[in-house]
Structure 1
Amino acid sequence: MKQIILILIIITCFSSCKSSKQDKSKRTTSSRIITKQLDVVNTKDEFKNIHSAETNILTRPENIINYAKQFEGVRYKWGGTTKSGMDCSGLIFESFRAYDILLPRISRDMAKRGKKIPLKAVNTGDLLFFKTGNRRNTINHVGLIIAIKNNNIQFIHATTSNGVITSWLNEDYWLKAFFEARHVL
């Protein structure tokens, strides 16, 4: 009886070894295929392709607007560019940067980019610039147009008192502070 058990164990060991060799050769072949695929497809490019496939459904301005809207309700933080705190130019900078459009980080420098346009010609995705009564009388605030309804312009921006919010240009404060609109896309 002991001899039969010993023989069965030996047979099992040899058959296991044979199986391991087959598995190992199969794994090697599989690894080669995977390696070849990884060599051919750069991970960054693969991510960009997935990112592009998602973004092709919407227009570029719509994607930028949707990106900016994810920060709604985020508190104001001077120099902030994250969900833990955001300032007005940080919101615009990050929203455009997410779609490979690099703008300057400061609102007065952003106002030097793109083409100045009259309010009648603005579209979603355009930028509104404001002078909010600072001592130097320079542009110090920026907002992104997200909708135009009944000749009124809705924009998203970050305020010191309420953080990232949407406002309407026809509100007294914003209409008085408005300086210019620019098309950067």
Structure 2
Amino acid sequence: MNRRVLLLIVVCLVVIYRCFNSNDESSEQESIQKVLKLADSFNGVTYKAGGTTKKGMDCSGLVTVCFKNIDISLPRSSQGMSTVGDKITLSKVEKGDLLFFNIDRLKGKINHVGLVTAVKPEILFIHSTTSKGVIYSSMEENYWKNSFVIAKRVITR
């Protein structure tokens, strides 16, 4: 009888653990989807230095607004954002991760940020450019591939 009670307790604990563990994953995925949905709502918005609205948006403004929507406060500059989160290799990026770039080719300087929206068949990200405003781009494009500096994960999985 004692073995059956012990076995029942162990089974219950495993079930409870899995329920809580899957809820965390579900919550993280919901947060990522909220960030990506809000980011997409800015697609086509014109570029504006310091902008954080549909009247105009810059790259770090886009990311700041989207993460604030899920109660994550990030530094306002792309350089500042690059100090937050866990460093990951480009081969390990997932939706919701951040990509940082040096578009001016200044050694060690980070001056642009994008938000990963897809990883297969290629890495796509949304960002705001001075010439085209908020757009989607691919890491397959030489311009972005050559300007890439670091990837960071802010939403833990």
Q: Given the two structures, how large is their TM-score scaled by the length of structure 1?
A: 0.67
Using the TM superposition, give the Cα deviation of residue 137 of structure 1 relative to its aligned residue in structure 2, in angstroms: 4.6
Structure 1 contact 134–140 (Cα < 8 Å) conserved: no
Match in the other structure for 1:5: none
Provide the C-alpha distance between the structure 2 equivalents of 1:183 and 1:93, rounded to a whole number of angstroms.
14
Root-mean-square deviation (Å): 1.6
1:63 equivalenced with 2:27 (yes/no):
no
Provide the C-alpha distance between the structure 1 equivalents of 2:81 and 2:144, rounded to a whole number of angstroms.
18
1:162 equivalenced with 2:157 (yes/no):
no
Using the TM superposition, give the Cα deviation of residue 131 of structure 1 relative to its aligned residue in structure 2, in angstroms: 0.4
- SS of aligned partner of 2:37: helix
Using the TM superposition, give the Cα deviation of residue 135 of structure 1 relative to its aligned residue in structure 2, in angstroms: 4.7
Unaligned runs of 5+ in 1: 1-55
Structure 1 contact 143–156 (Cα < 8 Å) conserved: yes
- SS of aligned partner of 2:117: strand
Using the TM superposition, give the Cα deviation of residue 121 of structure 1 relative to its aligned residue in structure 2, in angstroms: 1.1
Structure 2 contact 118–125 (Cα < 8 Å) conserved: yes
1:180 equivalenced with 2:150 (yes/no):
yes
Match in the other structure for 2:65: 94
Provide the C-alpha distance between the structure 2 equivalents of 1:90 and 1:78, rounded to a whole number of angstroms.
9
Match in the other structure for 1:143: 114
1:73-88 alignment runs, 5 A limit: 73-88=44-59
Higher RCO (CA-CA < 8 Å; seq separation 6+): 2
Unaligned runs of 5+ in 2: 1-26
Q: Percentage identity across aligned positions?
A: 48
Using the TM superposition, give the Cα deviation of residue 99 of structure 1 relative to its aligned residue in structure 2, in angstroms: 1.1
Code of the residue aligned with 1:60 in structure 2: it is S
Structure 1 contact 128–145 (Cα < 8 Å) conserved: yes
Provide the C-alpha distance between the structure 2 equivalents of 1:120 and 1:172, rounded to a whole number of angstroms.
17
Provide the C-alpha distance between the structure 2 equivalents of 1:100 and 1:158, rounded to a whole number of angstroms.
22
Q: How many residues align?
A: 129
Code of the residue aligned with 2:134 in structure 1: it is V
The one-character-per-residue Cα deviations of 1:9-28 (angstroms, maximum 9, x if unpaired) are xxxxxxxxxxxxxxxxxxxx
1:119 equivalenced with 2:108 (yes/no):
no
Provide the C-alpha distance between the structure 1 equivalents of 2:105 and 2:79, rounded to a whole number of angstroms.
12
Which structure's residues are more often helix, by fraction? Answer: 1
Structure 1 contact 114–183 (Cα < 8 Å) conserved: yes
Using the TM superposition, give the Cα deviation of residue 130 of structure 1 relative to its aligned residue in structure 2, in angstroms: 0.2
